[in-house]
Amino acid sequence: MNKITIFDSTLRDGAQAEGVSFSVKDKIKIVKALDRLGVGYIEAGNPGSNPKDLEFFEKIKSVALDHSKIVAFGSTRRRNISPAEDGNIQALLSADTDAVAIFGKTWDFHVTDIIGATLHENIEMIYDTISYLKEQGKEVVFDAEHFFDGYKNNKEYAMKSLDAAVQAGADCLCLCDTNGGAFPDEIYCITKDVAETFNVIVGIHTHNDCGMAAANSIMAVMAGATHVQGTFTGFGERCGNAGLSTVIPDLQIKKGYICIPEENMSMLTHTAREISEIANLKLYDREPFVGKTAFAHKGGMHVDGVSKDSRSFEHIDPSIVGNERKFLTSEVAGRTTVLSKIQKIAPYIEKNSEETSKIIDKLKKLEYEGYQFEGADGAFELLIRKELGKYKPFFELETFKIIGEHPPLAQGQTAAAMIKIKVDNQSEITAAEGDGPVNALDKALRKALEVFYPSLATVHLTDYKVRVLDSNSATASKVRVLIESSDGKDSWTTVGVSKDIIEASWIALVDSMEYKLIKDIEEKYRNYL
């Protein structure tokens, strides 16, 4: 099998995504996650750009890594100055990494019109920078910025730029589709030309502006590239980068390349979710391989087919990438779907059992009232437990009170909640302020329950959706509230329905907490066994 070097740029290119801001601690956590997965290179930022990156490079020196090399990122020297005098180049060296990534211009338009250099000056800037870094003992990846646009506009000059990098000693020529505008056939032909022209490692770095970043990366590998850059789950500037959580399994599972250690492939989904959590981004449910619904089935025929032989409607076994099959629960899903969920709790229940019919009838009744369980796995599991007599509430609500405040309280908080609960005949009263009544109620409930159940401190809401079910009733409309929660390892969704949005939210919040507590008990039992 051919080896593909995976070069992750989540901490540099990914950090340029709207809404993403990594702390130094965040960056170190992501490095550890990527190293556990077995990624070869981790591009961690530009030490010359900000104090945060400088601090990161200093701290990461004391972190032992098993698989990954840390890479510092920078540009070729500035015009009319030597690399030894260039502050950014010196900052790059101060990061003290074995490998560096240097980007340089290969599109003649960018050279003359954007940085205001002559074509010859740019060639010298590339050569001088790389040769200087090689003299310092560095492994150098040359990121050929806008290479595909440059090649199409002036092939001779684009190739001459690469030749300068090779002559200077570059270890890898990474071809960048910086604007994300190239098509797979273009990527293949141009990469093939480069791979056949230069006797050096060729890499690919694609952006997703035309929705083709993953496909373009794979086509480049087909053409001879053996170094693939991207970000985990694909977030990055504009439309993002090639998603390594897609590219890695595509290449390794489908095409037989080695990207990460085979035994680590089952960690892929967990790693994608962990990195999304650290980045404070919700992982797209339909993300290939690692998304929550990547292996979800709803239609009765699909469910029946998968139950008989998963190959009928699944391209791989989800467990290979650490994901799991889901049969979505709804009135159209069929008895097989419901039974599969029941048997996770009570394996002895059969398709024609009285309990199965009872749960299906309850499901249909609740969906008629406005509940929706296809996206609320946690709530449906609790429903099954209640119908089977396998549920005991962890706490009892005695009372809660919500107070709205206008103008807002300190720090923009607009509501306060007071709550009194009882656990094993012991009462607890707490209060909290929040950004709105639901947030205040969530904080107050969590504060009260953590006295009895400390593990709930790890739980937080990752998504909150409200759907008006009968808009003709105006402000008296019934609403459905979906809450997605996470404890940093797993995520689950619960649902509540009421004409009172606070009550609907309360139902979903309670189920969310109780689902977590049930899972904790099951995990302790498994560990005991």
Is residue 482 one of the residues assigned to a domain? no
Q: Is residue 488 part of a domain?
A: no
Residues 91 and 168 in one domain: yes
Highest mean pLDDT among 49-58, 206-215, 336-345, 348-357: 206-215
Which DSSP string corresponds to 430-484? EEEEESSHHHHHHHHHHHHHHTT-GGGGG-EEEEEEEEES-GGGGGG--EEEEEE
Query: 204-217: per-residue pLDDT in tens?
Result: 999 999 999 999 99
Within a domain: residue 479?
no
User: 455 vs 330, which has greater pLDDT?
Assistant: 455
Question: Are 304 and 179 in the same domain?
Answer: no
CATH number at residue 217: 3.20.20.70
DSSP 3-state of 58: helix
What does the pLDDT read at residue 396? 92
pLDDT digits (tens, 9 = 90+) for 177-194: 999 999 999 999 999 999
What's the mean per-residue pLDDT of the chain?
Answer: 89
> pTM of the full predicted structure?
0.72
Residues 404 and 301 in one domain: no
Together in a domain, 368 and 402: no
Q: Are residues 407 and 374 in the same domain?
A: no
> Which pLDDT does position 196 carry in this prediction?
98
CB 323 within 8 A of CB 294: yes
Same domain for 306 and 237, yes or no, is no
| Structural domains counted in the chain | 3
Q: What pLDDT is stored for residue 345 in this prediction?
A: 85
Residue 483 placed within a domain: no
Q: Are residues 275 and 212 in the same domain?
A: yes
> Distances from the Cα of 149 to the Cαs of 182, 431, 496, in angstroms?
8, 59, 52
What's the domain range around 409? 395-452
Are 228 and 348 part of one and the same domain?
no
Same domain, yes or no, for 271 and 378?
no
The answer to whether residues 314 and 249 belong to one domain is: no
Confidence of residue 302 (pLDDT cuts 50, 70, 90): low
Residues 240 and 321 in one domain: no
Q: Which of 212-221, 402-411, 435-444 has the highest mean pLDDT?
A: 212-221
End position of a domain, from candidates 385, 403, 434 = 385
Percent with pLDDT over 90 in the chain: 60
Whether residue 529 is predicted with pLDDT greater than 50 in this model: the reply is: no
Q: Would residue 126 count as lying in a domain?
A: yes
- Whichever domain contains 437, its CATH number is 3.30.160
User: Which neighbouring-strand residues pair with 73?
Assistant: 101
pLDDT band for position 346 (cuts 50, 70, 90):
confident
- Assigned domain for 465 exists: no
102-133 per-position pLDDT tens digit: 999 999 999 999 999 999 999 999 999 999 99
Structure confidence by residue, pLDDT tens digits, 508-521: 999 999 999 998 88
Domain stop point among 385, 417, 440:
385
Quote the pLDDT of residue 152.
97
Tell whether 260 and 322 lie within a shared domain.
Answer: no
